[in-house]
């Protein structure tokens, strides 16, 4: 890797990223410091108004709410996904590929279709209600669709495969002799898991968590469809500024904060991964 | 006389096109419309009839096409379909063409009332394509009595609680409470807006959802029993279940108008005029009434509808005079920020 040639190979990717990622982001950043024109559009006068408005309790509250929902979804997804990845990694190796295939199978259908499927399941005249009635339940079912719970379910469901893949990678690479050694030294199953396996798979967990968190906090489709539009997440707020209020500068200011949060998280995740792999080397 | 004019027009157009074709190659007329909002074959029929090369592009929302038009100063588009407040904005931004009515002979097919729309009296920069009301759409077999007030939606009975939806688009969502209180649907008065906000926050607890796109399907399935709806969309429910009814509440409605605007920066003005004129022909304009079940402001087209059709879809029977009694949504300029903030406050609660 000390050979300099491979650096040239990065040029296409760097050009691509600069043109379609860095430049648009800078444009959005610039936009955040202008004013909304009276008929929509942009008035090119410098202002800090939009940035200040992000910290308004109303909008800051929406940020916190989004972070809560994204954090909850990511935590649930990690718990379920880690267990699934553990089971897959523990299965006989010839079956692992099949199991992984089934884990990512939902990705073969469109995100919207998968989300609509939950509407079919959860609505008052839907599948779950139908089964309950068929089983003889005749009271009023609790409202399932158009609630915060429905949104969390939708997010966990849609992003679960990311966690499974992210956790499977380190779990499948674990050297079984290490667990054996732990047992030889008197560690029980739980101790071995908690003190040996779990720390060594932190990078996978961190990656899975950050994936789900970042994808959830910016999501606007799921809250709109499964939340019945009854609460706003930051993605919906950004969407509304660009596409309903025609207030691009404020939408840009909100987006910049969202991007900043995601960058911060990705940096933390890199730290976690490096620390974990560093610890492994020291061992 | 009109057909003669059309022939002359087409001939003139043909010549102009042939000339321009030799100079710059065939040029394309670009029309932007919502998906499914005009006859599927309309563009081809127009091209065939006039020798043009019109092309249809689609936009999902008013805001989407407005974003593109503002960014490009209206270049690259010739005719756009937008709702009236947006036509007004295009006019205010100097992007809409001042219409020369002599080039639109079919304009005489429009109702006289269509020239009295408050956003553009005399149709100086826009031509109405469809118009209608926003009201209550409900399951007459499930709802007790006949809902006839916006309060029936805003303060539903115990039995209806959790079985109502309101529109998610901010202007209409706020409009329901504005009308219920007897305010203008374009009010910018801070006290009135605060009342509207408080009332809608209270209503939120009784709603099933905010829904712009599938409310009629929720009525059909029985998941919802009373919803706020645009009349044309309520018809999609009526088409599937005859127990679904539409009513304009006693406090009234807004009058929504979707329009056609020729862009000032259009490079194919003659063809653009020919296109809007083509749409205003009764057969073409009537397609919208028959297929998307929206009223059109075209007298000849509306008179051609069958009695059975009008009986099945009662909104078709609302007369232009009745429509004109309602206030149109206008662009509220700077106040739009306050509107969108109120919507955020409602949703955050």
| Residues shown for chain B | 349
- As given in the structure block, the two tokens for residue A1 are 């890797």
Rounded to the nearest angstrom, the minimum Cα separation between B282 and chain A is: 33
pLDDT value of position A280: 56
- Among the partner-chain residues A228, A243, A250, the one whose CB lies closest to the CB of B209 is A228
Residue B2 pLDDT greater than 70, yes or no: no
Q: Are B243 and B252 in contact (CB under 8 A)?
A: no
Establish, for the pair of chains A and B, how many residue pairs have beta carbons separated by less than 8 Å. 86
pLDDT of residue A39: 76
Residue A125, pLDDT > 90, answer: no
**DSSP-assigned letter for residue A91:** S
* Band (B1; pLDDT cuts 50, 70, 90): very low
Give yes or no for residue A271 having a pLDDT over 90.
no
With 50 as the cut, is the pLDDT of residue B13 above it?
A: no
- Confidence category of residue B25, pLDDT binned at 50, 70, 90: very low
pLDDT over 50 (residue A176): yes
- Residue B135, pLDDT score: 97
Q: Give the pLDDT of residue B15.
A: 42
Q: What is the mean pLDDT of residues B238-248?
A: 96
**Spatial distance between the Cα atoms of A17 and B319, rounded to a whole number of angstroms:** 57
User: Which one, of B242, B263, B253, B218, lies nearest residue B327 by Cα?
Assistant: B253
Residues of chain A contacting B210 with CB distance shorter than 8 Å: 228-230
| The pLDDT value given to residue A4 | 62
**What is the pLDDT confidence band of residue B329, given thresholds at 50, 70 and 90?**
very high
For A14-47, write each residue's pLDDT tens digit: 999 999 999 999 999 999 999 988 777 788 999 9
Percent of chain A with pLDDT over 70: 96
Contact residues for B263 (Cβ-Cβ < 8 A; gap 6+): B69, B74, B75, B77, B78, B79, B80, B90, B95, B96, B97, B272
| pLDDT exceeds cutoff 90 at A152 | yes
Non-local CB neighbours of A36 within 8 Å, separated by 6+ positions: A42, A43, A246, A247, A248, A249, A250, B337
**Which residues of A fall within a CB distance of 8 Å from B96?**
none
Residues of chain A contacting residue B204, judged by C-beta atoms under 8 Å apart: 230
- B279-288 average pLDDT score: 95
Write down the pLDDT at residue A126. 82
| Nearest C-alpha neighbor of B222 from the set A15, A27, A123 | A123
Q: Please tell me the predicted confidence (pLDDT) of residue B336.
A: 87
Tokens (6 digits) for A235: 């993605």
Cα(A113)–Cα(A207) distance, rounded to whole angstroms?
A: 26
Across chain B, mean pLDDT equals 90
Which of residues B120 and A281 earns the better pLDDT score?
Answer: B120
Answer whether A123 sits within 8 Å of B221, measured CB to CB. Answer: yes
Nearest C-alpha neighbor of B155 from the set B188, B191, B181: B181
Residue B326 phi, psi (nearest 5): -85, 150
- B273 Cβ neighbours under 8 A, 6+ residues apart: B100, B103, B104, B262
Residues of A in contact with B64 (CB under 8 A): 243
Here the tokens at position A183 are 């047992």
* Residue among B210, B211, B348 whose CB faces A61 most closely: B348
- Please judge whether A243 and B331 are an interchain contact, meaning their C-beta atoms are less than 8 angstroms apart: no
B72 touching A (Cβ < 8 Å): no
Residues forming a β-bridge with B137: B227, B246
How much of chain B, in percent, has pLDDT values that exceed 70? 92
Give the contacts of B230 (CB within 8 A, at least 6 positions apart).
B132, B133, B134, B167, B172, B256
Per-residue pLDDT band at A48 (split at 50, 70, 90): very high
What integer pLDDT is reported at residue A42 of this predicted model? 85
Q: What value of ipTM does the predicted structure carry?
A: 0.83
- Mean pLDDT, residues A46-52: 94
Residues in A touching B241 (Cβ below 8 Å) = none
Contact criterion met (CB < 8 Å) for B63 and A231: no
- pLDDT beyond 90 at A211: yes
Written as one string, the DSSP assignment of B147-214 is --SHHHHHS--GGGTTSEEE--SHHHHHHHHHHHTT--TT---HHHHHHHHHHHHHHHTTEEEE-SSS
Residues 312 to 331 of B: which have CB under 8 A from any A CB?
331
Chain B: closest CA distance from residue A218 (Å)? 16
The tokens describing B88, both together, are: 């007004």
Task: Give the angle subtended at the CA of B177 by the CAs of B173 and B178, to the nearest 5°.
Answer: 105
In this prediction, residue A279 has a pLDDT band, given cuts at 50, 70 and 90, of low
Partner residue opposite A243 with nearest CB, options B63, B208, B336: B63
Using an 8 Å CB-CB cutoff, list chain B residues near A224. 168
Residue with tokens 């099933």: B208
Per the prediction, chain A carries an average pLDDT of 89
Higher pLDDT, B249 or B15: B249
Phi, psi dihedrals of residue A19, rounded to the nearest 5°: -70, -40
- Assess whether pLDDT exceeds 80 at residue B259: yes
Cross-strand bridge partners of residue B128: B259
Q: Per-residue confidence at B8, pLDDT binned at 50, 70, 90?
A: very low
Which residue has better confidence, A63 or A144?
A63
Chain B nearest C-alpha distance from A124 (Å): 6
| Three-state secondary-structure class, residue A229 | coil
Quote the DSSP letter at residue A105: G
Lowest-confidence region among A102-111, B93-102, B109-118: A102-111
Q: What is the CA radius of gyration of chain B?
A: 21
- CA–CA gap between residue B347 and residue A237 (Å, rounded): 10
B31 close to B79: Cβ distance less than 8 angstroms: yes
The Cα–Cα gap between B219 and A71 comes to 35
Among B209, B221, B331, the residue with its CB nearest the CB of A229 is B209
Question: How far is the CA of B318 from the CAs of A192, B271, B294, B311, in angstroms?
Answer: 76, 34, 11, 11
Question: Could you identify the residue written with the tokens 């209608």?
Answer: B132
Query: Smallest Cα–Cα separation from B229: which of B252, B212, B243?
Result: B212
**DSSP string for A1-67:** --SSHHHHHTHHHHHHHIIIIIHHHHHHHHHTTSEE-BTBSEE----SHHHHHHTSHHHHHHHHHHH
Residue of chain B nearest A228, judged by CA positions: B209
Query: Which alpha helices (H) appear in chain B, and where do they start and end?
Result: 2-24, 42-50, 62-72, 84-92, 150-154, 170-180, 190-204, 215-221, 231-240, 269-279, 282-287, 299-303, 307-312, 320-324, 336-348
Q: How far is A254 from chain B (nearest CA, A)?
A: 14
What pLDDT is attached to residue B110?
Answer: 97
- Sole residue written with tokens 């999501």: A219
B337 in contact with A, Cβ within 8 Å:
yes
Residues 6+ apart with CB under 8 A from A148: A69, A227, A231
pLDDT of residue B24: 41
Q: Please name the helix (run of DSSP H) or strand (run of DSSP E) that holds residue B30, with its range, or none.
A: strand B29-33
Contact between residue A87 and residue B183 where contact means Cβ atoms under 8 Å apart:
no
pLDDT at residue A278 greater than cutoff 80 = no
Closest to B292 (Cα-Cα) out of B207, B231, B243, B229:
B231
């Amino acid at each position: 890797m000390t050979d300099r040639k491979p650096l040239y190979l990065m040029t296409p990717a760097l050009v691509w990223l600069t043109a379609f990622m860095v430049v648009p982001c800078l444009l959005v950043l610039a936009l955040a410091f202008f004013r909304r024109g009276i008929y929509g559009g942009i008035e090119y006068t410098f202002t800090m108004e939009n940035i200040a408005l992000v910290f308004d309790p109303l909008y800051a509250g929406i940020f916190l709410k989004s972070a809560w929902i994204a954090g909850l979804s990511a935590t649930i997804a990690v718990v379920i996904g880690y267990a699934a990845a553990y089971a897959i990694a523990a299965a006989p190796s010839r079956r692992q590929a099949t199991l992984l295939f089934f884990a990512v199978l939902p990705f073969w259908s469109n995100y919207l279709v998968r989300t609509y499927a939950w509407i079919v399941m959860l609505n008052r005249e839907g599948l779950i209600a139908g089964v309950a009635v068929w089983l003889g339940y005749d009271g009023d079912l609790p409202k399932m669709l158009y609630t915060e719970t429905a949104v969390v379910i939708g997010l966990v469901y849609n992003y679960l495969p990311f966690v499974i893949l992210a956790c499977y990678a380190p779990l499948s690479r674990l050297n079984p002799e290490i667990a054996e050694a732990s047992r030889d030294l008197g560690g029980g199953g739980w101790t071995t898991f908690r003190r040996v396996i779990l720390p060594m798979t932190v990078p996978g967990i961190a990656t899975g968590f950050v994936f789900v968190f970042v994808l959830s906090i910016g999501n606007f489709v799921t809250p709109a469809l499964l939340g019945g539009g009854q609460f706003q997440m930051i993605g919906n707020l950004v969407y509304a500024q660009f596409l309903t209020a025609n207030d691009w500068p404020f939408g840009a200011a909100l987006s910049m904060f969202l991007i900043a949060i995601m960058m911060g998280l990705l940096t933390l995740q890199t730290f976690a991964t490096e620390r974990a792999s560093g610890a492994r080397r020291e061992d | 006389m009109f057909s003669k004019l059309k022939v002359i027009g087409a001939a003139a157009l043909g010549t102009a096109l042939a000339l321009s074709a030799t100079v710059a190659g065939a040029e394309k007329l670009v029309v932007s419309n919502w998906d499914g909002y005009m006859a599927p074959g309309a563009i081809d029929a127009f091209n065939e009839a006039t020798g043009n090369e019109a092309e249809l592009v689609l936009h999902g929302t008013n805001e989407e096409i407005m974003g593109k038009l503002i960014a490009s100063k209206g270049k690259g588009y010739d005719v756009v379909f937008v709702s009236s407040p947006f036509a007004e904005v295009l006019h205010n931004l100097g992007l809409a063409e001042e219409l020369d009515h002599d080039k639109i002979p079919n304009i005489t097919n429009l109702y006289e009332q269509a020239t009295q729309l408050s956003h553009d009296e005399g149709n100086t920069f826009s031509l109405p394509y469809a118009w209608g009301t926003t009201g209550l759409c409900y399951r007459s077999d499930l709802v007790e009595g006949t809902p006839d007030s916006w309060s029936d939606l805003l303060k539903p009975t115990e039995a209806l609680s959790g079985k109502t939806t309101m529109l998610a688009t901010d202007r209409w969502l706020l409009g329901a409470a504005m009308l219920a209180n007897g305010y203008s649907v374009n009010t910018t008065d801070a006290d009135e807006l605060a009342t509207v906000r408080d009332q809608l926050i209270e209503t939120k607890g009784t709603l099933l959802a905010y829904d712009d796109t599938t409310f009629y399907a929720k009525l059909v399935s029985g998941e919802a029993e009373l919803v706020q709806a645009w009349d044309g969309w309520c018809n999609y429910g009526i088409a599937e279940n005859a127990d679904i009814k539409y009513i304009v509440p006693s406090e009234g409605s807004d009058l929504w108008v979707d329009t056609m605007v020729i862009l000032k920066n259009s490079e194919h003005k003659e063809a653009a005029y020919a296109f809007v004129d083509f749409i205003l022909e009764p057969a073409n304009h009537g397609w919208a009434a028959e297929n998307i079940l929206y009223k059109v402001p075209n007298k000849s087209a509306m008179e051609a509808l069958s009695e059975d059709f009008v009986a099945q879809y009662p909104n078709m029977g609302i007369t232009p005079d009745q429509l004109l009694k309602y206030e149109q949504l206008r662009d509220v300029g700077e106040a739009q920020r306050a509107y969108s903030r109120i919507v955020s406050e409602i949703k955050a609660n």
